[in-house]
Amino acid sequence: MKEDPLITVDDWDWCIDDPSRLEPWFSIRNDAEEKFLLYRDGVSAVFKTSDASGRNYYVRHDVPDSLAGHVKALFGSRAKDLYDASGILADHKIPCVQYPGWGKCGTESMILSEEQPDAVTALEYWFRLVPHNHVLRLEFLSKLADLIGLLCSNALALREFSLRNILVRSNGSEMLVVDVSSVEERETLSREEKLVLLRPFAEMRGELSADDATVAILDSGLAADSQEASELWDEAVDNLEEYINNDLWPQVEETILAGESTPYCRIVPLENGGVLHVRNTIWNEELPVPDDTNSYAEELPGEDASKVWLNGIKALLARDHLQKLPLSWEHYEDDRKDVIRYEAESVAGLEE
């Protein structure tokens, strides 16, 4: 595992391979974060910066917002977890995004990741860039099988793994593991640990046939024969659906009803006192606010509108087909009716 030198800058302790990576942005980090912020989610903010040599980075800045969070951060941090995990992956020659350094000041932490030009998540690559190209999809599955096979052959157990944890060059030439915060070396992987590695395949269910999935799992080396590969595929899909229903969805539903943004929809305050929820794409990209030129509206009582909206977001997660998938939900706390908007033409699938 990599062991970079420890330096102290402005009361921050940094473990970093090259201190010049912090120049000059770290001395003006608050302004840099505000100006180049990409997103903020709970205790985390991510912004883009560059050093004096022109090297570009993404910076994740974590600040606990609760007593429990501060106590937890005293004994560890996601930044250190990401840094350590990337070192293990690199030691085993797993293609991954480089994290050249991480820093801590009290319970605050930061971590640098090198920018990957012309790369998107595997989620976006599969659902946006190659949704109708069978040849490119097969090439993608082959590369994904190779990547998962590398993790398996090196007996590396991941706590979680997803299409969001993989970056793909836009031309499909390379895959890189990203944002994996836990990697443990094993003698051999258990069945449960193999199923974690197969989560990316399960996330493509609906577009990925059982036959193609079985072939890809065989190619990855996680199964000894086609029967075991088929069984693993069925278990991976069942596990994902159970996770969505029992773990993910209750949290997402609570967040939406609290009027907060999620990766699946964003919140836009309205001048008339309402709150607009706008659906994101399945690869979590923001959609434009719909209007009369590209959608039609239905007025509903608030309780009915919330059910329609929640059913739509859950269908997006569960890969269920809805004939009409809501684009937005305009919600009011007073006696005004809510407004649900749909695409102007009938929706043929979850995404065009």
My answer on whether 50 and 32 are in the same domain is: yes
My answer on whether 33 and 128 are in the same domain is: no
The answer to whether residue 349 is domain-embedded is no
Distance CA 329, CA 346 (A): 17
My answer on whether 12 and 92 are in the same domain is: yes
Instruction: Please say whether the beta carbons of 113 and 97 come within 8 A.
Output: yes
My answer on whether 16 and 58 are in the same domain is: yes
Instruction: Please say whether the beta carbons of 165 and 176 come within 8 A.
Output: no
My answer on whether 242 and 137 are in the same domain is: yes
The answer to whether residue 31 is domain-embedded is yes
pLDDT recorded at residue 7: 93
Mean pLDDT of the chain: 93
Distance CA 290, CA 298 (A): 13
Distance CA 330, CA 287 (A): 15
Percent of the chain with pLDDT over 90: 88
CATH of the domain at 236: 1.10.510
Between these two residues, 85 and 347, which has the higher pLDDT value?
Answer: 85
What confidence tens digit (pLDDT) does each residue in 230-250 have? Answer: 999 999 999 999 999 999 999
* Band of residue 352 on the pLDDT scale cut at 50, 70, 90: very low
pLDDT recorded at residue 65: 81
pLDDT recorded at residue 2: 61
Tokens 């302790």, residue located: 13
Terminal Cα distance for the chain, rounded:
44
The answer to whether residue 287 is domain-embedded is yes
Examine the fold and report which residue of 64, 88, 114 is the final residue of a domain before the chain moves on: 114
Does 346 have pLDDT greater than 60? no
Between these two residues, 195 and 349, which has the higher pLDDT value?
Answer: 195
Instruction: Please say whether the beta carbons of 244 and 317 come within 8 A.
Output: yes
My answer on whether 247 and 159 are in the same domain is: yes
Classify residue 166 by burial, with Cβ atoms within 10 Å: 0-12, 13-18, 19+. Answer: buried
* Band of residue 345 on the pLDDT scale cut at 50, 70, 90: low
Domain that holds residue 86: 6-114
Instruction: Please say whether the beta carbons of 51 and 18 come within 8 A.
Output: no
pLDDT recorded at residue 303: 95
DSSP assigned state of 345: S
My answer on whether 127 and 248 are in the same domain is: yes
What confidence tens digit (pLDDT) does each residue in 155-178 have? Answer: 999 999 999 999 999 999 999 999
My answer on whether 155 and 204 are in the same domain is: yes
How many structural domains is the chain composed of? 3
Of 238, 229, 256, the C-alpha closest to 148 is 229
Examine the fold and report which residue of 212, 236, 253 is the final residue of a domain before the chain moves on: 253
CATH of the domain at 13: 3.30.200
Tokens 């065989």, residue located: 218
What confidence tens digit (pLDDT) does each residue in 46-71 have? Answer: 999 999 999 999 999 999 888 877 77
Does 73 have pLDDT greater than 90? no
What are the structure tokens assigned to 112, written together? 């640098």
The answer to whether residue 350 is domain-embedded is no
pTM score, whole prediction: 0.90
Chain-centre distance for alpha carbon 344: 30
The answer to whether residue 281 is domain-embedded is yes
My answer on whether 301 and 224 are in the same domain is: no
Does 3 have pLDDT greater than 80? no
pLDDT recorded at residue 75: 76
Inter-CA distances, 131 with 1, 57, 88, 101, 121, Å = 38, 30, 33, 36, 14
The answer to whether residue 132 is domain-embedded is yes
My answer on whether 126 and 178 are in the same domain is: yes
pLDDT recorded at residue 252: 96
* Band of residue 84 on the pLDDT scale cut at 50, 70, 90: very high
My answer on whether 240 and 292 are in the same domain is: no
What confidence tens digit (pLDDT) does each residue in 285-338 have? Answer: 999 999 999 999 999 999 999 999 999 999 999 999 888 999 999 999 999 999
Percent of the chain with pLDDT over 70: 96
The answer to whether residue 348 is domain-embedded is no
My answer on whether 246 and 264 are in the same domain is: no
* Amino acid (1-letter code) at residue 332: Y
The answer to whether residue 336 is domain-embedded is yes
Instruction: Please say whether the beta carbons of 45 and 33 come within 8 A.
Output: yes
Examine the fold and report which residue of 114, 133, 155 is the final residue of a domain before the chain moves on: 114
* Band of residue 347 on the pLDDT scale cut at 50, 70, 90: very low
